[in-house]
């Protein structure tokens, strides 16, 4: 039997819908890993997957009404594309047209 391959997720938008998605993914038994979480001003990411504590800190930060840019490990939103890898799942819960270039790049990379 083949080992489960981890599937990487890049999430745009950590409003109520995005935070609920994160909660459901973390509660699932599927091999899913967040490689990047982004809002309009900041990104946190790790090519080998964010640690659960990083994900929880991001959720807490956003629930408090702050941007991911407030986190010490945050990168500028323009650096998000560095975390797009072939086979990744890109989820956009942002409801913003500003994500269109990121979605196009993700498609070009095979996400």
Query: Which pLDDT tens digits describe the chain residue by residue (111 residues)?
Result: 445 578 999 999 999 999 999 999 999 988 899 999 999 899 999 999 999 999 999 999 999 999 999 999 999 888 888 898 888 999 999 988 888 888 888 888 887
Separation CA 44–CA 100 (nearest Å) = 19
**How far does Cα 40 stand from its chain's mean position?**
12
C-alpha to C-alpha distance for 88 and 99, rounded to whole angstroms: 16
pTM equals 0.88
Those residues with Cβ within 8 angstroms of residue 70's Cβ, 6 or more apart along the chain or in another chain: 42, 61
Closest CA to 89 of 33, 48, 47, 43: 33
Q: Say how far apart CA 85 and CA 21 lie, in whole Å.
A: 20
């Amino acid at each position: 039997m083949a080992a489960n391959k981890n599937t990487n997720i890049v999430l745009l938008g950590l409003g109520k819908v995005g935070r609920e998605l994160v909660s459901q993914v973390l509660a699932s038994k599927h091999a899913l890993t967040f490689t990047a979480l982004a809002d309009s001003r900041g990104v946190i990411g790790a090519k080998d997957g964010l640690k659960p504590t990083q994900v929880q800190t991001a959720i807490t930060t956003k629930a408090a009404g702050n941007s991911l840019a407030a986190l010490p490990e945050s990168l500028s939103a323009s650096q998000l594309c560095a975390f797009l890898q072939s086979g990744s799942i890109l989820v956009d819960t942002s409801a913003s047209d500003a994500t269109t270039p990121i979605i196009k790049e993700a498609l070009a990379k095979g996400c």
